[in-house]
A and B are shown apart, each in its own frame.
Chain A
Amino acid sequence: MKLGRRTFTAGLAASLASAGLGLGARPAAAQPYRGPNVIIIRFGGGVRRRETIDRTHTFAPFLRHELTKKGILIPDMRIASLQGVETSHAEGTLNILAGRYLAYRNLGTGFPAQHLEPTAPTLFEYLRKAYRIPAHRALLINGEDRPQEEFFTFGVHRHYGIAYRSETLSLYRFKLHKFRRQLERGEGTDEELAEAQKQLSELLKHDHRKLGPRQTPPVEAFWSRWQRYFGKSGFVNPRGDRLLTELAIRALKELRPRLMMVNYQDPDYVHWGNPSHYTRAIAVIDQELRRLVNAVELDEEYRDQTVFVIVPDCGRDSNPLMEVPYQHHFNSRSAHEIWALIFGPGIARGKTLDKVKDQTAIAATVGAIMGFRARGAEGDVLEDIFV
């Protein structure tokens, strides 16, 4: 890859910023990674078993009728009912990524958009510490409605942290790239530049860890290509959860991630009371899963080399007293009830694991698949899923 002056400067600044945060520069990793790729699909934000894996009531037919044949379904996965454990999106995502409950702290932001910071290493950090994998090959794909989840790329831990972080792809990151580049190049009138500065400042208000607008050079290049293709208006690119698939598929081609987490989220719109938003969003994720699986199968380097781990961040209520029983996910028993589907090389095919399993087992299991130990994970490796 040819590095331009600006991308070089950006990379240098990011490295200095890392050092400046006191989290240490990344030491040389021990070995190159030769294991399978892993794509974690967060089937969020919050879905019940009934509308997803229930054979009769599913709105995700591809998942239920086709993908289950490719791997192993764990229909009774749960989020533990512990003091302080919340059944919500950020919390559930961190349960998956860190393999621990309550492994986060609030960065002082309040309702409705709490910014949680992981306090334990994430899967990205375990992977990048164990293997020589650059940040842009450990990716978090995030939606446009939840900027507070942009910063799950690393935890606060003295042996891990920012040196082993992942990169994030999202419209938030694209806007950072767009405005920063516009300001650097001085593109536009004074008013346009002032507006760009204002927008950039607004975006950076979400950046409670003060990481700044710069991303690694390959990711900046990714965004430049994205802008050339979709323009910068935001009106051309796919929207909602379809955007995440577009980012993921482009990332597969351009950034070649070894570990990627795609945070689907749109079923959560049912908070506002329209049940069709929930069922429709599940159906959309199902279609997007098909696109993603097809994209993997069409790529020689990913075909038969990629394990998919599909798991909801949390369940939803099943409240018979409400007109929309699944409107929320407020720590009810049903909100603790999730599931998981895992398929790919080395994983049992067409099976159902009829045992109660815990959401924190995902991190330990991904570690086992990729050949590292997620030391901080509380859950056990799902031994039963392997061939």
Chain B
Amino acid sequence: MPKVQTKFGEMEIEEQDIIRFPLGLPGFEHLRRFALQSPADLEPFRFFVPLDNPDISFIVTDPFLFFPDYEFDLDDMSKTEIEVTEESRLTVVVIVNVRDQIENATVNLAAPVVINDGKRLGKQVILSSSRYTTRHRLFNLEHTK
């Protein structure tokens, strides 16, 4: 690789950082290889870069940081697809929708991105329970004013 030009500038991406998404993402089924980048000044946000089309890029974050009660069961089919076993370590991030102002950012809790760290395999899992929506506000302005 290791340098990739992305929408967010040049990034260094090592071979072992590449995560394969066998099904792509809903709406982006042709994108199969991604990398997570964590620039220090963007903490707690990370870039989720599709290496097959670095012109677009996603911003993701740790859902448990903003929603401590967030939880879901990974369905059996998803477990098979990303080869999850008892010993697997998983990373869960959710896609952030920023538009123009960070204050108005929402996250998609209904479709978390689940990554099997060891296997470097990932999937955006759609949760069938109606508990979460695709647009939860990240920041509750009432509390911060």
**A pairs with B:** no
Q: Which residues on B are within 8 Å of A, measured CB to CB?
A: none
Q: Which residues on A are within 8 Å of B, measured CB to CB?
A: none
